[in-house]
Structure 1
């Protein structure tokens, strides 16, 4: 029984790692379509990806309809959080810089998820292992940030707004992840939980394209970019993430997603041609240690 639980835990971790790899490709792929607004890419990929999730989960959604209705208040909150996440995340990157915006958005999510679990999940508590993993991961992520020399300098006020938006993005991510985990723990299938959250969230997100969606389909490259973003990282990635949440707590899942900026940095070096100083590689090493701590048995 213990072996089965350990195997399931590892399977959950590797599913979330797979999702993180897919999410880590988004920055490189988005750079191929510079004439599309970052807000539009976020709204389209998360919005269309949400409809894709809901369509794939239609049978499970019908089977779990009554169970989902029990969580209708949480569902509304999670849908709003999901819709706000890409808007805050991509705006944070634009105002504070790609590195700082990404790091703050991703690195604060485990902290907020742990707070939510401690406040609302009686059987969850912050463990020494989680604190150790979190500390190592944050140290690594900060080394990644400081290893990059910013090409441009943003106005201080805008930078502060970007940092604040990064915190909001991290909170939003933690909220909808924690609610999805709660629904799964209370008998809702993982596909139903994420399908309902993403389906309703997409109804909020997609109308924003009326304002931000210029040039989405202006060229074949743009179409391929937004199509990939919606179907692979946001579609397939969140299917894997939802499966992983069946076996891993929301706070641990958020820690594992720290692997996303590692993938993004590696692709920036290999594909885009950016350079990575030794400080950055040291940060990547610490993040990998953080992940190894999580992969190790409970």
Structure 2
């Protein structure tokens, strides 16, 4: 059950992104904010992995003199908050490992422009609901294709209920589905999320630690996003508000959130984690009402209830399986 909680915590942190940007400096473009988020978050994830591995190696050396140390990404660093000081088997995968890393890093970099441009073309409501709502569908389909195992009717039911709820939250029926180009961009963002989730899960299957898997993927994505940040006029980071925004988005919504997400992927299927990730727009909606003083229509309230019901359904099914085991 705690892994379900980890996935929900990650979704809540992801869901603060829009409100944080709304409260940030006016001169910060969406593309610049998104790239700064990846650069700061990826760099801090790499530092966390380095610090944990150095600490673990030191304890291993002190407790067993002469015992060879292992690479930082092969240490068994289990559920938060602290590391297990026993080493795990060496990661498997060989060249395939770095192909998985490359796919995951490219997906993270590509997610930012497709997500924000999709919202720019069709508006925040339609763009966000298509991108976030399609993520679990793409994840389940790709996981099914790769493993040749159907994620299950319980996952399908919970996903459909939550996606319908998100559609009602966004008022898609009132706004219309918009421009096809914007839809393709938003669908591309959903596919990018699915590729990242499956890449992180595959690294765990290969024997990587949760910390190591997200650190290496986001570390490479930070390098890829750095040129985008430089070219997108990042002067807003020089202000106090801009610096606070960058640190929150990088450390809270990338570093901390992805550590929770990676530990959730350790025990849950990627399709289940993606469905639990639908708590992101739920969080964004609640923050919009409580912090930005936005209002909800009757339809949106029904959508809110459906999203909560879908997330509770996934959590209860997982808890039931754990109890039976």
TM-score normalised to structure 2 length = 0.82
Over 3 Å counting, the alpha-carbon distance change for 1:77 and 1:283 in structure 2 is same
Match of 1:129 in 2: 154
Q: CA RMSD in A?
A: 2.1
Equivalent of 1:194, from 182, 203, 214? Answer: 214
Q: Report the Cα distance in structure 2 between the residues aligned to 1:61 and 1:111, rounded to whole angstroms.
A: 36
Report which of the two structures shows the higher radius of gyration computed on alpha carbons.
Answer: 2
Q: Report the Cα distance in structure 2 between the residues aligned to 1:194 and 1:63, rounded to whole angstroms.
A: 10
Do the aligned residues in 1 keep the contact of 2:100 with 2:202 (CA within 8 Å)?
no
Report deviation, 1:129.
Answer: 0.3
Q: Report the Cα distance in structure 2 between the residues aligned to 1:66 and 1:213, rounded to whole angstroms.
A: 40
Secondary structure in structure 2 of the residue aligned to 1:36: coil
Secondary structure in structure 2 of the residue aligned to 1:53: helix
Report deviation, 1:88.
Answer: 1.3
Matched ranges for 1:130-209 at <5 A: 130-146=155-171, 159-209=179-229
Equivalent of 2:42, from 42, 50, 72? Answer: 50
Secondary structure in structure 2 of the residue aligned to 1:34: coil
Match of 1:78 in 2: 104
Q: Report the Cα distance in structure 1 between the residues aligned to 2:191 and 2:154, rounded to whole angstroms.
A: 22
Match of 1:14 in 2: 5
Match of 2:254 in 1: 234
Q: Report the Cα distance in structure 1 between the residues aligned to 2:190 and 2:138, rounded to whole angstroms.
A: 7
Do the aligned residues in 2 keep the contact of 1:43 with 1:87 (CA within 8 Å)?
no
Do the aligned residues in 2 keep the contact of 1:16 with 1:240 (CA within 8 Å)?
yes
Report deviation, 1:294.
Answer: 0.5
Secondary structure in structure 2 of the residue aligned to 1:13: helix
Name the stretch that deviates more: 64-73 or 10-19.
Answer: 64-73
Do the aligned residues in 1 keep the contact of 2:134 with 2:190 (CA within 8 Å)?
yes
Match of 2:126 in 1: 100
Report deviation, 1:216.
Answer: 2.4
Report deviation, 1:148.
Answer: 9.4
Q: Report the Cα distance in structure 2 between the residues aligned to 1:237 and 1:61, rounded to whole angstroms.
A: 24
Do the aligned residues in 2 keep the contact of 1:46 with 1:202 (CA within 8 Å)?
yes
Secondary structure in structure 2 of the residue aligned to 1:275: coil
Do the aligned residues in 2 keep the contact of 1:147 with 1:277 (CA within 8 Å)?
no
Q: Report the Cα distance in structure 1 between the residues aligned to 2:94 and 2:222, rounded to whole angstroms.
A: 18
Over 3 Å counting, the alpha-carbon distance change for 1:189 and 1:173 in structure 2 is same
Say how many residue pairs are matched. Answer: 283
Equivalent of 2:289, from 242, 258, 269? Answer: 269
TM-score normalised to structure 1 length = 0.89
Secondary structure in structure 1 of the residue aligned to 2:283: helix
Equivalent of 1:41, from 33, 40, 52? Answer: 33
Q: Report the Cα distance in structure 1 between the residues aligned to 2:140 and 2:174, rounded to whole angstroms.
A: 32
Structure 1: where are the runs of 5+ without partners?
1-9
Do the aligned residues in 2 keep the contact of 1:136 with 1:290 (CA within 8 Å)?
yes
Name the stretch that deviates more: 71-80 or 54-63.
Answer: 54-63
Do the aligned residues in 2 keep the contact of 1:147 with 1:280 (CA within 8 Å)?
no
Report deviation, 1:162.
Answer: 2.1
Q: Report the Cα distance in structure 2 between the residues aligned to 1:111 and 1:282, rounded to whole angstroms.
A: 22
Do the aligned residues in 2 keep the contact of 1:46 with 1:86 (CA within 8 Å)?
no
Report deviation, 1:62.
Answer: 2.8
Q: Report the Cα distance in structure 2 between the residues aligned to 1:270 and 1:179, rounded to whole angstroms.
A: 35
**Deviant stretches of 4+, over 3 Å:** 65-70, 147-150
Matched ranges for 1:55-66 at <5 A: 55-58=47-50, 59=53, 62-64=72-74
Do the aligned residues in 2 keep the contact of 1:49 with 1:231 (CA within 8 Å)?
yes
